[in-house]
């Protein structure tokens, strides 16, 4: 008898190491749980709620919930899929998400989750917010229209790059991503295209200039197989070491 601890995820036995979250154990076992603010290299954030599952009948975010032996987890059920679909739809109407003209199309997790969850329509009434882009930086474009407030760039900039380039400002519906500079412009910070914060955006906010549409349609990460079949891409890995300032 092995003394490997396990829990049940949609009826499937998932082994886990002590200290792992439900999300980490599931992804390690090759089972995908939809998520946006989770990133394998960062501490869980629990804010996007896409990864909400039912644990012993109660809703919980799987990215923050420590795995425990014998727990029964429901994830891919009609009820939870409906809720996740509604979350994606709300994100789609809250920003300006025009996939045909977005460089991140085919690489975008929000879009990939829309496909995986069968989101055929944004359903709600669009906000069409006015969010000017910041093209001031020589190497990187910021298109705030697509921001979903996952805070990955904020976390990467402070925890890995040691720079604190990004932050959130405002509350409730007025919450938005800002650049920590007196002018508010990215060019007036020490941000570099090689920073971790430039690599982690799950949607099309932080884009390297002069590289758009480099990968042809058909060869992009989510063209060949749906994100739900790519659990191995998101397996937990050791966090990137903090750079010396």
Residue 118, interface with other proteins (CB under 8 A)? yes
- Minimum CB separation from other proteins for residue 152, in Å? 22
User: Side by side, which strands form the sheet with 72-74?
Assistant: 12-15, 6-9, 72-74, 52-55, 58-61
Residue 115, interface with other proteins (CB under 8 A)? yes
Q: Which stretch binds other proteins (CB under 8 A): 12-20, 47-55, 109-117, 233-241?
A: 109-117
Residue 130, interface with other proteins (CB under 8 A)? yes
Structure tokens at 118: 């069968």
Structure tokens at 237: 């890995």
Residue 143 · residue 133 · CB < 8 Å: yes
Residue number with CB closer to other proteins (108 or 165): 108
CA distance 31 to 230: 9
Cα separation values, 17 from 28, 29, 47, 172, 236, Å: 10, 11, 24, 37, 12
Residue 173, interface with other proteins (CB under 8 A)? no
Residue 105, interface with other proteins (CB under 8 A)? yes
Please count the residues of this chain forming the interface with other proteins, following the rule CB under 8 A. 28
User: Which stretches of the chain bind other proteins, using CB under 8 A?
Assistant: 92, 96-102, 105-106, 111, 114-115, 118, 120-123, 125-126, 128-131, 217, 223, 225-226
């Amino acid at each position: 008898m092995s003394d490997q601890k396990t829990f049940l995820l949609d009826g499937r036995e998932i082994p886990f190491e002590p200290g792992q979250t439900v999300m980490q154990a599931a992804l390690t076992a090759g089972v995908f749980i939809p998520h946006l603010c989770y990133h394998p290299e960062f501490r869980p954030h629990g804010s996007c709620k896409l990864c909400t599952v039912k644990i012993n009948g109660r809703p919980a975010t799987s990215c923050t919930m420590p795995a425990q032996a014998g727990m029964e987890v429901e994830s891919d059920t009609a009820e939870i899929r409906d809720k996740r679909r509604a979350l994606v739809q709300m994100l789609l109407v809250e920003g300006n998400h025009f996939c045909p003209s977005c460089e991140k199309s085919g690489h975008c997790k929000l879009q990939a989750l829309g496909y995986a969850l069968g989101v055929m329509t944004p359903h709600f009434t669009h906000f069409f917010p006015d969010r000017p882009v910041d093209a001031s930086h020589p190497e990187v474009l910021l298109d705030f229209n697509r921001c979903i407030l996952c805070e990955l760039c904020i976390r990467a900039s402070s925890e890995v790059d040691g720079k604190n380039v990004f932050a959130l400002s405002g509350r409730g519906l007025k919450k938005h991503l800002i650049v920590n500079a007196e002018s508010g412009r990215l060019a007036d910070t020490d941000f570099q295209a090689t920073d971790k914060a430039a690599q982690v955006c799950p949607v099309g906010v932080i884009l390297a200039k002069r590289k758009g549409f480099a990968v042809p349609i058909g060869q992009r990460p989510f063209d060949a197989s749906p994100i739900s079949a790519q659990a191995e891409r998101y397996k937990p890995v050791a966090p990137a070491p903090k750079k010396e300032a």
